[in-house]
């Protein structure tokens, strides 16, 4: 009886992508992995053909119908062009968990941290990576950082489930909640709530700046680290590099009904077409993919052959060192070396052993009681090129009987009343209005205030309602605001 094949989609990507994908697919084929490969095209070439998103609509159906998507690096235009397709695919398909193992291969790959074995679990769908940005005035630009309770719950529970499934002893959370008290504060709070459900796993929290320093200096202090999107993106690259090389790290993007696997490095167009690129990151992503689709024996076979190749000092230029390497090879030759060692195991490095496909439990968002929500005022952002005292005078004249001006801030610092002469200001001012009595505002009172400001010919660039939830403010104070 013929072995049933598993359908996967493959994108060769841009830059060095086609070369490292060709090497990876040759190794997969040589391992005997029963894969049915459907190639799709996304990225720069599709964009240049006139598709503004960089991906044709029909391609989505092919990806969604397969068991997994193996993607080589895509060139993302800087400052313009299509948005990051990496982000687009992750968010569109709900691939909320980005899993990046960062492992040292000492003494065969040079590293200052022998024995390092850290897994970064990064939230994939929100934070600043939603890409919601605005230009408010000629001088002021804004990016929205969105953190949600469902997003926090999903990724944090996944990190604990991963640790439990793979017998990891500790989960660490990195945030900046000493500054970002609402957004990162929520992430930290949910970490504490969910962590309490896993009493056998050690838990700790670090402020991200000192946590990053500790990770770079003493990675052995960490096991599984869970982070919001931006911090996770940056620090997974740092962790991979200090382990030995970004070029050796693969990445899994996991959702409830789909998965994408990729190297963590970029498309490196300067190295394209030269038979130089290291295919290891994409190959290890393919190993993660094989485990995910239930082909654990093939994952073990390939991973051990790759480890044996490293041990024998057969290295591409990016990790070649006179002290630790024996033979410098190109992309094709490295793939040949791995294929030749299929069936062998490393002698010194720990051998890979994937006995069964380990699927992480995806828990649904927990339902919570709806808090009482009250409207406590409004922040109105005004474009203004003159003195703040004159602005405050104009705002006070435009105030309505129901709403009064409480304070004006600039870049988060209160500048009225009592502006400090040293405070630097730009042309966008946050003007906070609160009710004159009872502490509760109505939508109609807000509309009346905005109408009054328009009549004064003040330029409103943005508004933000101030809500309290069960009596707790859902907004932050400006620096020095009482």
314-325 pLDDT per residue, tens: 999 999 998 889
Could you tell me whether strands 224-227 and 170-175 are parallel, antiparallel, or unpaired per DSSP bridges?
A: parallel
pLDDT value of residue 150 = 94
Q: Average the pLDDT over 449-478 and give the result.
A: 95
Instruction: Show me where the domains of the chain are located.
Output: 1-96+248-351, 112-243, 373-473
Distance CA 258, CA 359 (A): 12
pLDDT for residue 251: 94
Query: Averaged over 139-157, what is the pLDDT?
Result: 96
Tell me the HSE value of 203 on the side-chain side, using a 13 A CA sphere. 19
- Kindly tell me if the per-residue pLDDT of 2 is higher than 60: no
Residue 408 has pLDDT above 70, yes or no: yes
Whether residue 46 is predicted with pLDDT greater than 90 in this model: the reply is: no
If pLDDT is split at 50, 70 and 90, which confidence band does 1 have? Answer: very low
Is 85's pLDDT higher than 90? no
Tens of pLDDT, residue by residue over 384-394, are: 999 999 999 99
Task: Tell me which DSSP letter residue 104 carries.
Answer: -
Straight-line distance from the first to the last Cα atom of the chain, in angstroms, rounded to the nearest whole number:
76
| Mean pLDDT for all residues in the chain | 92
DSSP string, 429-477: EEEEEEESSTT---HHHHHHHHHHHHHTT-EEEEEEEEEEETTEESSPP
Q: Residue 472: is its pLDDT beyond 80? A: yes
Q: For 244-267, what is each residue's pLDDT tens digit? A: 999 999 999 999 989 999 998 988
Identify the CATH number of the domain defined by range 373-473: 3.30.70.1570
Per-residue pLDDT reduced to its tens digit, 5-17: 999 999 999 899 9
Beta strands 428-435 and 373-383: pairing type?
antiparallel
pLDDT at 42: 87
473: tokens are 């403010």
Higher pLDDT, 2 or 154: 154
Residue 268 has pLDDT above 90, yes or no: no
Distance CA 421, CA 292 (A): 60
On the 0-12 / 13-18 / 19+ scale of CB atoms within 10 A, 155 is buried
Domains 1-96+248-351 and 112-243 share a fold: yes
Residue 316: its pLDDT value, please? 95
Strands 117-123 and 97-103: antiparallel
Cα 425 from Cα 385, distance rounded (Å): 10
Percentage of the chain lying above the pLDDT 90 cut = 79
Residue 81's pLDDT is 56
Round to whole Å and give the CA distance between 279 and 23.
Answer: 7
78 pLDDT above the threshold of 60: no
The CATH number given to 1-96+248-351 is 3.40.718.10
Encode pLDDT of 208-232 as tens digits.
999 999 999 999 999 999 999 999 9
Q: In this predicted model, what pLDDT tens digit does every residue of 21-43 receive, in sequence order? A: 999 999 999 999 999 999 999 88
In this model, does residue 91 exceed pLDDT 90? Answer: no
| CA-closest candidate to residue 7, choices 58, 61, 55, 68 | 68
Rounded to whole angstroms, what are the CA distances from 393 to 387, 397, 417? Answer: 10, 6, 11
Residue 82 has a pLDDT of 57
Quick one: average pLDDT of 81-87?
68
pLDDT value of position 79: 56
**Model confidence over 412-449: pLDDT tens digits?**
999 999 888 899 999 999 999 999 988 999 999 999 99
Alpha-carbon gap, residue 334 to 317, rounded angstroms: 11
Confidence of residue 366 (pLDDT cuts 50, 70, 90): confident
Burial class (CB in 10 A: 0-12, 13-18, 19+), 323: exposed
The mean per-residue pLDDT over the stretch 341-349 comes to 97
So what's the pLDDT on residue 21? 97
Split at pLDDT 50, 70, 90, the class of 474 is very high
Look at 84-93, 130-139, 256-265, 278-287 and tell me which has the smallest mean pLDDT. 84-93
CATH architecture of the domain with residue range 112-243: 3-Layer(aba) Sandwich (3.40)
């Amino acid at each position: 009886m013929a072995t049933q094949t598993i359908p996967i989609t493959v994108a060769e990507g841009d830059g060095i992508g086609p070369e490292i994908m060709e090497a990876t697919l040759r190794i997969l084929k040589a391992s005997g992995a029963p894969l049915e490969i459907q190639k799709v095209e996304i990225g720069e070439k599709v964009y240049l053909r006139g598709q503004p998103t960089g991906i044709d609509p029909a391609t989505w159906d092919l990806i969604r119908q397969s068991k997994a998507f193996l993607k080589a690096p895509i060139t993302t235009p800087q400052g313009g062009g299509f948005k990051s397709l990496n982000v687009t695919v992750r968010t569109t398909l709900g691939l909320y968990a980005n899993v990046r193992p960062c492992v040292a291969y000492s003494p065969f790959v040079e590293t200052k941290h022998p024995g390092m074995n850290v897994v970064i679990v990064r939230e994939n769908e929100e934070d600043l990576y939603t890409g919601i940005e605005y230009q408010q005035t000629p001088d002021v630009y804004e990016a929205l950082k969105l953190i949600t309770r469902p997003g926090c719950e999903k990724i944090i529970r996944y990190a604990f489930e991963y640790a439990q499934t793979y017998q990891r002893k500790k989960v660490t959370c990195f945030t900046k909640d000493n500054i970002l008290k609402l957004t990162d504060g929520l992430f930290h709070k949910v970490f504490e709530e969910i962590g309490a459900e896993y009493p056998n796993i050690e838990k700790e929290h670090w402020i991200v700046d000192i946590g990053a320093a500790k990770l770079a200096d003493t990675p052995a202090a960490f096991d599984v680290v869970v982070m919001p999107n931006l911090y996770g993106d940056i620090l997974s690259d740092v962790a991979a590099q200090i382990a030995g090389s970004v070029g050796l790290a693969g990445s899994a993007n996991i959702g409830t009904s789909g998965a994408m696997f990729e190297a963590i490095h970029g498309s490196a167009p300067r190295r394209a077409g030269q038979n130089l690129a290291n295919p290891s990151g994409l190959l290890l992503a393919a190993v993660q993919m094989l485990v995910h689709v239930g082909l654990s024996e093939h994952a073990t076979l390939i991973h051990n052959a790759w480890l044996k190749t490293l041990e024998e000092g057969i290295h591409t230029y990016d990790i070649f060192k006179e002290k630790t390497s024996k033979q410098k090879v190109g992309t094709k030759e490295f793939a040949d070396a791995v294929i030749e060692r299929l069936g062998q195991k490393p002698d010194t490095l720990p051998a890979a052993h994937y006995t069964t496909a380990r699927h992480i439990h995806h828990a649904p968002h927990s339902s919570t009681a709806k808090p009482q929500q009250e409207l406590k005022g409004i922040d109105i952002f005004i474009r203004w090129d003159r003195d703040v005292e004159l602005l405050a005078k104009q705002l006070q004249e435009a105030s309505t009987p129901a709403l009064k001006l409480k304070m004006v801030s600039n870049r988060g610092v209160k500048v009225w009343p009592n502006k400090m002469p040293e405070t630097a200001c730009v042309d966008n001012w946050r003007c906070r209005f609160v009710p004159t009595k009872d502490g509760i505002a109505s939508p109609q009172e807000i509309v009346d205030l905005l109408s009054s400001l328009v009549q004064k010919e003040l330029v409103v660039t943005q508004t933000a309602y101030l809500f309290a939830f069960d009596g707790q403010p859902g907004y932050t104070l400006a620096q020095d605001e009482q």
